[in-house]
Amino acid sequence: MTENNGQMTAAVLYGRENVRVEQVPIPQIGPDEVLVRVAVALTCGTDLKVWRRGYHARMITPPALFGHELAGTVVATGAEVRSVQPGARVVPANSAPCGECFYCKAGQPNLCSELLFNNGAYAQFLRVPGRIVERNLLPIPEHVSFRDAAMAEPLACVLRGVEEMRVPEGATVAVIGCGAIGLKFVRVLSRRGARVIAVGKRASQMENARRMGAAETVDVTQQLEPVEVVRKMTPGGRGADAVVEAVGQPATWEWALGMVRRGGSVNLFGGCSKGTEVRMDPSELHYSEITIRSTFHHTPRHMREALASIASGEVDTGEFITAERLLADLPQIFEEMKARNGELKTAVIP
């Protein structure tokens, strides 16, 4: 698949479970923008949710170019761009904050009122808006491959979640969900001294979690009461010091609140659909002093920390990228992801 007469091959999201790989114009760039030739794009759970729902209220409105985890090479720069030159190997983040609104000045740029999102990773070329060029376009270290660098964005979200939880070394942490994001939590938390109990389903997920450093695993398909099983695995049966929910379902949110000890914290990392109702006992929250947080997205600082983590070897991306496919296969890839084919992340080559 090669560009021809100003055209490129790209994936376009048209609506619910409707993505098509077709010929579209190569994006034209403005004076503060750059054009990146995509070397690799990665699939992720967020893209699967968007594909299933047909849109994302904040990130993408169809019809639109699709995908947001990538790495590639700069092939053209606008006249005003001085920070990067053609030929540079880069990771363009999928967003950039404005730096001027209340939330940016309050140190919460992930909540920026004008947070700019960018999609189009599943394509031969990607236009990178000026604000992302200025604030969130990262050079790839020489020894880091495109495949490895492309995982910086989801890892940045995880690193921010870990930072927000403030888990001390030696703490017991339950991680609910053993998909790619949950396993990143398992890897990072275990590497940083936590005792991790991984909660998932299927033998393959349990094997992956143990490989990532989980001390204990719980297969919910084999347990009638996963909350009680997890609590029995914690010191004194008190419950976990912290719980990460990385699924985004009402039942697993409720499990998370049931697994945590008095005085512990819960990170509801997996987002539920708008309008979802979750049952909880207010007296348990109040009298047990449970802290609830919900980590959304990443910041420019966490993007840089993620790429540094990958470069240092703290996270081995080879453990997460379990397949490589061509861009033309993308509609089939999402059908397989919907059927839970067991792959963690697929490297899509345009």
Cα 110 to Cα 104: distance, rounded to the nearest angstrom: 8
Helix (H, G, I), strand (E, B) or coil at 241: strand
Per the structure block, which two tokens stand in for 71?
A: 């790495």
pLDDT tens, residue by residue, 24-77: 999 999 999 999 999 999 999 999 999 999 988 888 999 999 999 999 999 999
**Predicted pLDDT of residue 325:** 97
Cα 173 to Cα 323: distance, rounded to the nearest angstrom: 29
**Residue type (1 letter), 74:** V
Reported as a pLDDT band with limits 50, 70 and 90, residue 3 is: low
pLDDT over 60 at 219, yes or no: yes
Measured in degrees and rounded to the nearest 5, phi and psi for residue 106 equal -85, 5
**Predicted pLDDT of residue 1:** 38
**Phi-psi sector, 248: left (phi>0), alpha (psi -120 to 50), beta:** left
Cα 178 to Cα 217: distance, rounded to the nearest angstrom: 10
Cα 171 to Cα 4: distance, rounded to the nearest angstrom: 56
Helix (H) or strand (E) holding 92: strand 89-92
pLDDT tens, residue by residue, 266-303: 999 998 988 999 999 999 999 999 999 999 999 999 99
Q: Structural domains in the chain? A: 7-151+320-349 (3.90.180.10), 158-293 (3.40.50.720)
